[in-house]
Amino acid sequence: MVLINRNEKRIRGLDYHGSIGKVASRGLDCYESIGRMTSRDLDYYDFIGKVAGRSLGYHESIGKVTGRGLDYHDSIGKITSRGLDCHETIGKVTSRGLGHYKTSLNTNN
């Protein structure tokens, strides 16, 4: 299933989620709520901002995620890393390992 709404998107994978924007994809299950996605893998989530990566398990609500790992979570700020299991609430995480956590007010998982 491919959803095409407003903004521009080019994705090649599966399990994309969004509701506002435009999806131009060769996969299935493409969704987005607000913002833009550009990726070639699976399980990308973007609510507000932009996701550009080639991996899986990207989650973002406000800010920007750019990485080649898996299981990235960002609520406010920016994450740039090549590891896995990176969680950030407010601020910036830059790492290449696993199990990096940074919290200012609360933690989003």
Q: What is the pLDDT of residues 73-97, one digit of tens each?
A: 444 344 444 443 444 443 444 443 3
Domain boundaries, the chain: 10-102
Residue that is written with structure tokens 């709520």 in the block:
33
Its pTM stands at 0.14
Residues in the chain: 109
Residue pLDDT, tens place only, 34-83: 334 444 333 444 433 344 443 334 444 434 444 434 344 444 344 444 44
Q: What's the average model confidence in pLDDT over 1-24?
A: 40
Q: How many CB atoms lie within 10 A of CB 20?
A: 14
Q: What is the pLDDT of residue 13?
A: 37
